[in-house]
Amino acid sequence: MSQRIGNALIGQSGGPTAVINQSLVGVIESCMAAPEIGSVFGALRGVQGILDENLINLGLENPADLDRVARTPCAALRSVRKKPTEEECERMLDVMEAHDVRFFFYIGGNDSAETAFLLNRAAVARKYELKLFHVPKTIDNDLMDTDHCPGYPSAAKFVAQAFMGDNEDNRSLGGVKINVVMGRHAGWLTAASALAREGNGAAPHLIYLPERDFCIDAFQDQVADAMDQHGRCVIAVSEGIHDSEGHFIQKSRSVDAHGNVQLSGTGALGDLLADRVRACVGINTRIRADTFGYLQRSFFGVYSRQDALEAREVGRHAVRVALEDKVPHGSLIIRRAGTLAKYAVAYGVTVLENVAQKTKVMPEQYLSGDHDVSPAFLDYLRPLVGDLPKIGRLSDLPVPRLLS
């Protein structure tokens, strides 16, 4: 039968998601079930934990605890944003060799795929036998070769439900409401705001994505037009909007003492746009800006069931592929199978080079004009997010006036 090959090591990297621990637990439970794999280790804070030889034993966790971990948002192994140097790759291989690690699974986005690529190159050069797989996660949905990324559907659901409620809030009190959504280079998450309309809403009335250049004068005109048409206006804006020269809109205002252009974790873009709207619709109009911030990736209790299921399965499939021994390394992908009426997925693997540091922006057929998405995008997104709550509205049957 199967022979023991060596131990497995798992790390998590980059910004967390609501379901990144589903993938972690998927990898752990499949490793534990595999006779080819001995111990299952975790690296605390991704590559930093490997460099520091800061490893924990995951094989001693019991299944009930693991299941609770899987349902908890954010990186249970803790995370890191770090690109290793060549020397660091050598050090990591030293640590792996010392612990007889022959399987390495790195859960993260395109930066993490690059780390995996660099480490794999070093392993090949050294002729160190290592099955190395990148397990995708990102709320940005911007990884190449995959239909979509685990983590994105849950964040998209949060954004959709946020816009559904916010549309009712705006309908209650009127005025202009600007909501800034995460997504530095690609508009996938901001675009998910359009799903709020499915629940019988009109909002968002305007959607601005980094796939288009942002012109603040045109923006002012479009808001004024929407106010004329609807008497109110809800706007979705990606944090990554930029002018025609590629400069972030935020940058033009940025007064950060240290010269950093920071997009998330600040209300600067929303406040800037609110000031510009004030200039065009007048000071008597109620104008508010919210920046959804880290709630989009970390809020506890809102997630897509399909996303949770796929994130778990993509972790399991990574181990399956590693054991099959057809390819020694790669990045896991999700392919859409089934039909428009009946959603289904298949799991596969692509080469690390295709994913490392690359960004998949929204294709032209998912956009509509310069401030909306297309019906084709909603067809793409709907089965990932699943059911949304339904808005209830009064019939507004007028009572005849009796006074002048």
DSSP 331-378: EEEEEEEE-SSSEEEEEEEE-HHHHTT---PPPGGGEETTTEE-HHHH
> Site size for its own copies, by CB under 8 A?
92
The set of residues, in sequence order, having a beta carbon less than 8 Å from that of 53 and lying 6+ positions away, is: 95, 98
- Catalytic annotation, pick one of 140, 142, 145, 166: 140
3-state secondary structure of 133: strand
One-letter amino acid at 56 equals: I
Q: Is 131 helix (H, G, I), strand (E, B) or coil?
A: strand
Q: Of 11, 15, 26, 109, which one interacts with its own copies (CB under 8 A)?
A: 15
Closest to 52 in 3D by CA, of 88, 100, 83: 88
Q: Rule CB under 8 A: which of 258-287 touch its own copies?
A: 258, 264-268, 270-271, 274-275, 278, 283, 287
Q: Which residue in the set 199, 204, 315, 383 belongs to the binding site for its own copies (CB under 8 A)? A: 199
- Binding-residue pattern over the window 132 to 171 for its own copies, x denoting contact by CB under 8 A: -----------------------------xx-xxx-xx-x
Footprint (CB under 8 A) of its own copies, residues 24-63: 39, 41-42, 44, 53-58, 60-61
The answer to whether residue 292 forms part of the interface with its own copies (CB under 8 A) is yes
Contacts of its own copies in 165-194 (CB under 8 A)? 165-166, 168-169, 171-173, 177
What is the smallest separation between the CB atom of 36 and its own copies, expressed in angstroms?
Answer: 20
* Residue 150 C-beta: closest distance to its own copies, Å: 16
Stretch 351-370: interaction string toward its own copies, x if CB under 8 A: --------------------
Positive/negative CA dihedral, 217, 219, 223, 225: positive
Would you say 51 or 321 has its CB closer to its own copies? 51
Q: Are 162 and 201 in contact (CB under 8 A)?
A: no
At position 57, the amino acid (one-letter code) is: N
Residue 290 engages its own copies in binding (rule: CB under 8 A): yes
Binding-site member from 99, 121, 230, 358 for its own copies (CB under 8 A): 99
249 touches its own copies by CB under 8 A: no
Please indicate whether residue 140 is annotated as part of the active site. Answer: yes
The contacts found for 78-81 with CB under 8 angstroms, 24 or more apart, are: 78/12, 78/44, 78/45, 78/46, 78/49, 79/12, 79/13, 79/14, 79/15, 79/16, 79/45, 79/46, 79/108, 80/13, 80/45, 80/46, 80/47, 80/48, 80/49, 81/13, 81/14, 81/111
Please give the Cα distance from 120 to 47 (Å, whole number): 13
Residue 193 C-beta: closest distance to its own copies, Å = 13
To its own copies, the closest distance from the beta carbon of 278 in angstroms equals: 7
Q: How far is CA 121 from CA 115, 118, 303, 325, 358, in A?
A: 10, 5, 36, 18, 18
Would you count residue 309 as binding its own copies (CB under 8 A)?
Answer: no
DSSP state for residue 275 in the 8-state scheme: H
Q: Which stretch binds its own copies (CB under 8 A): 104-112, 129-137, 138-146, 295-303?
A: 295-303
For residues 67 and 89, give the distance between their C-alpha atoms in angstroms, rounded to a whole number.
32
Binding of residue 109 to its own copies (CB under 8 A): no
- In the complex with its own copies, the residue whose CB is nearer, 101 or 113, is 101
Min dist CB 237 to its own copies, Å, is 13
Which active-site residues does the annotation give?
A: 140
